[in-house]
Structure 1
Amino acid sequence: MTDQEPTTVSPVSLTAEDRSDQPPVTPELEDLYRGFEKALLVPLWTRIGDLMPEHPRSRARPHLWEWKTLLDLGARAGDLVPVGRGGERRAIALANPGLGGRPYATPTLWAAIQYLMPGENAPEHRHTQNAFRFVVEGEGVWTVVERDPVPMRRGDFLPQAGMNWHAHHNAADEPMAWIDGLDIPFQYDIEGQFFDFGRDGLTEEEHGTPDRSRSERLWRHPGLVPVSDIGTREGTPLLRYRWEDTDAALTDQLELEREGHPGTVEPGHALVRYTNPTSGGDVLPTVRAQFHRVRSGAETAPRRETGSSVYQVFDGSGRVTVGEVSWSVQRGDLFVVPSWLSLSIRSEASPSDSDSGALDLFQFSDAPVLTKLNLFRTHVSHVEEKHA
């Protein structure tokens, strides 16, 4: 074992300040602070406001990415950037303006547009990061998870737990784009991630285009679990949550409300959560995914949550307010809600811009991480709730 090399310049820098909450400034205090710097020590009394604020103060900022811009840039990348090794699947990440240019939508969540040209294959790989795909428009691509081809169509949500081999192929004559969501920032910052390259090509069977994947044939039967594969899993074994099921559930909630029965989370606001059929919990260990439908003319109550969320407008138009920032939104637009900033949504949708006549939004968040650490909090209409 060799001795540690001496540090020539300490990264710790302390300044004695003449403030009521700080010790009196004296030559002895200044000398003490130089000793702290040399020994790589930081006294809590100089940083408590930064380290232990009264409530979350996120470095991330509210931000909106317009779908038309993302789609245009994705198409241009499709002409210029290969999809294979070196092109990294042509995934283009959202970079929150408050996070120093890192490819992070929030401090814990990654969101990206992925663009696949006709006939292209995205090569196989796997990683510990939990991931999903959500399709706002188009069809013709199959994601292949553990050699199981899974169709991807408008409105489909396709989760995939960590360390599953996966690739994609476009069997259509048109390009297709979708969004990817992963917990890359979380795993990177806690230094727990692993990654493996897989095969460069797919077999003839994997190039198939079945309407139902093998995972759907086993697991897409509400309330029915295959005894041959029973057992709780951290990540859902169902690889595709079809739009027709999500749409029907949201429609039924609003119809029950119109009939005077309970079912919505607040007036005009239907909400469903994608769940793991083996446990009833979140679909992925680190990611919660939900879908909102806000009736035209309705407005959600301002709501704050610990942790962060990314939303994509699936259909319709409206006005979104995050903290003190407001935007008009339409199909495909993505926006970020940082920790403990209030969110309210007003639906301005109509049959001319929405199949449902309502404002539909897909949401994913880091709530499972906060929940496991007993840190998930919500505040709605000045009533604070703590959820397990």
Structure 2
Amino acid sequence: MTQSPLTQDIAMGSPVRLQAVSAVGQPEVTPALEELYRGFEQELLVPLWTEIGDLMPAHPRSRAAAHVWRWERLRALAAQAGELVPVGRGGERRAIALANPSLGGRPFATPTLWAAIQYLMPGEDAPEHRHTQHAFRFVVEGEGVWTVVGGDPVAMRRGDFLPQAGWNKHAHHNATAEPMAWIDGLDIPFQYTNEAQFFEFGRDEISDTERITPDRSRAERLWGHPGLRPVAAGVPAAPGSPLLAYRWEHTDRALDDQLALEKEGFGGTVGPGHAAVRFSDPSTGADVLPTIRAEIHRVARGAETAPVRETGSSVYQVFDGSGTVTVGEKSWTVTRGDLFVVPSWQPLSVRSEAGATDSDSGALDLFRFSDSPIFEALRLDRIHVEGTIR
């Protein structure tokens, strides 16, 4: 058989490498089998019988590792970057991404999720741009920055969750004399892996009318009333929540009420001493972003959650309090601001050790974001809780 020049080049440097092995379920190792495998390599072919254990395991085996990042150290490094690294065209943002230790140094917290600390110095602006990646901001401390989404200035304060669906123009400006840090979450790894991302520069500067500092954004005035939908607004054409800020005072009250109802003997909590709320799109009731789910969990002091496994990955940040987190075989003591990763199908359990000295609520409050909407849309979602799979 005559090989084409292209086939010859591939054969000499083929990335496919096959090894005949003597094992149950594998063909007998013979010269003929070796010759067959060399032919596969030349033509860039891989037989399923040599790869099935890796491609079709009995359960998910995530490439990501369970890992924790300490907020105190992250913030100190971000402050150093604030003195050394400019914000503007080119770098665009002073955002420092979490790199999972098992993902080859890529700036990915998990195979689908990006998490970063962003830092803005007093009086600084982060220029306008837009991208197809869906994003949010969550504030664990501080205030003074306004994110401007589609010309609408939105205040950022401790405990606030600020979603921003893809392809919305957005910028940030710090209107105070103090620096501010927060975390960004995006689906960058998911879109990167699936080769679906687009990016576009916006204006170099926002207008004076966008540089105002209103207490409530236009989006909040229209969509931020519990249970009330503006009739004139209809259904937004673009995906993602039209509400640009979910304020901490509402989240805090909802969590408090769940635990109070539990004490009174009524339902409403996820488990004993474990309250949780999910941020939802007020126009549809669905997740706030098409590819990202966001929640706040409050675990009362002394309570411990049952181990839970889920397909898909999550990133958590401690909003308040302290406790012990166990992910798979790893356990850490965590405090305010610390971030940790839960890879796909690794069990997570949490024990709250919070008290009046380290928590405003007296409980352990955890912010969580995950890729659950992707898995649910593809019917690949699965949860295992104490022997029950659903």
In 2: Cα distance, 1:308 partner to 1:247 partner? 25
Give the structure 2 partner of residue 274 of structure 1: 279
- 1:330-345 maps to which residues of 2 (within 5 A)? 330-345=335-350
Deviations 1:62-119 (A, max 9, x none): 0000000000000000000001123331100000000000000000000000000000
Q: Secondary structure at the match of 2:368?
A: strand
Shift of 1:4: 6.0
In 2: Cα distance, 1:4 partner to 1:206 partner? 57
Shift of 1:370: 0.3
Give the structure 1 partner of residue 362 of structure 2: 357
Give the structure 1 partner of residue 35 of structure 2: 31
- 1:277-356 maps to which residues of 2 (within 5 A)? 277-356=282-361
Q: Which amino acid aligns with 1:14?
A: L
Give the structure 1 partner of residue 145 of structure 2: 141
- Larger deviation, residues 79-88 vs 22-31: 79-88
- Total equivalences in the alignment: 383
User: Are 1:74 and 2:78 matched, yes or no?
Assistant: yes
Q: Secondary structure at the match of 1:75?
A: helix
Q: Which amino acid aligns with 1:123?
A: P
Q: Which amino acid aligns with 1:306?
A: T
Deviations 1:298-341 (A, max 9, x none): 00000000000000000000000000000000000000000000
Q: Secondary structure at the match of 2:275?
A: strand
Give the structure 1 partner of residue 207 of structure 2: 203
| Among candidates 227, 252, 262, match of residue 231 of structure 2 | 227
Shift of 1:234: 2.3
Q: Which amino acid aligns with 1:86?
A: G
Q: Secondary structure at the match of 1:361?
A: strand
Deviations 1:330-368 (A, max 9, x none): 000000000000000000000100000000000000000
| Among candidates 187, 190, 208, match of residue 186 of structure 1 | 190
Give the structure 2 partner of residue 91 of structure 1: 95
Shift of 1:202: 1.1
Give the structure 2 partner of residue 132 of structure 1: 136
Q: Which amino acid aligns with 1:359?
A: L
Give the structure 1 partner of residue 374 of structure 2: 369
In 2: Cα distance, 1:47 partner to 1:88 partner? 42
In 2: Cα distance, 1:87 partner to 1:78 partner? 13
Q: Which amino acid aligns with 1:307?
A: G
User: Are 1:63 and 2:72 matched, yes or no?
Assistant: no
In 1: Cα distance, 2:290 partner to 2:72 partner? 32
| Among candidates 116, 139, 160, match of residue 164 of structure 2 | 160
In 2: Cα distance, 1:41 partner to 1:348 partner? 54
In 2: Cα distance, 1:245 partner to 1:230 partner? 24
Q: Secondary structure at the match of 2:53?
A: helix
Structural RMSD (CA):
1.0
Shift of 1:252: 0.2
Structure 1 stretches lacking a partner, 5+ long: none
Q: Secondary structure at the match of 1:108?
A: coil
Give the structure 2 partner of residue 50 of structure 1: 54
Give the structure 1 partner of residue 23 of structure 2: 19
In 1: Cα distance, 2:158 partner to 2:84 partner? 26
TM-score of the superposed pair, with normalisation by structure 2:
0.97
Q: Secondary structure at the match of 1:114?
A: strand
Give the structure 2 partner of residue 10 of structure 1: 14
Q: Which amino acid aligns with 1:201?
A: E
Deviations 1:14-59 (A, max 9, x none): 0000111210000000000000000110000000000000000001
In 2: Cα distance, 1:239 partner to 1:231 partner? 15
In 1: Cα distance, 2:292 partner to 2:108 partner? 15
Deviations 1:148-196 (A, max 9, x none): 0000000000000000000000001100000000000000000011000
Structure 2 stretches lacking a partner, 5+ long: none
TM-score of the superposed pair, with normalisation by structure 1:
0.97
User: Are 1:259 and 2:276 matched, yes or no?
Assistant: no
User: Are 1:238 and 2:243 matched, yes or no?
Assistant: yes
Q: Which amino acid aligns with 1:332?
A: G
User: Are 1:171 and 2:161 matched, yes or no?
Assistant: no
Q: Which runs of 4+ in 1 moved over 4 A?
A: 3-6
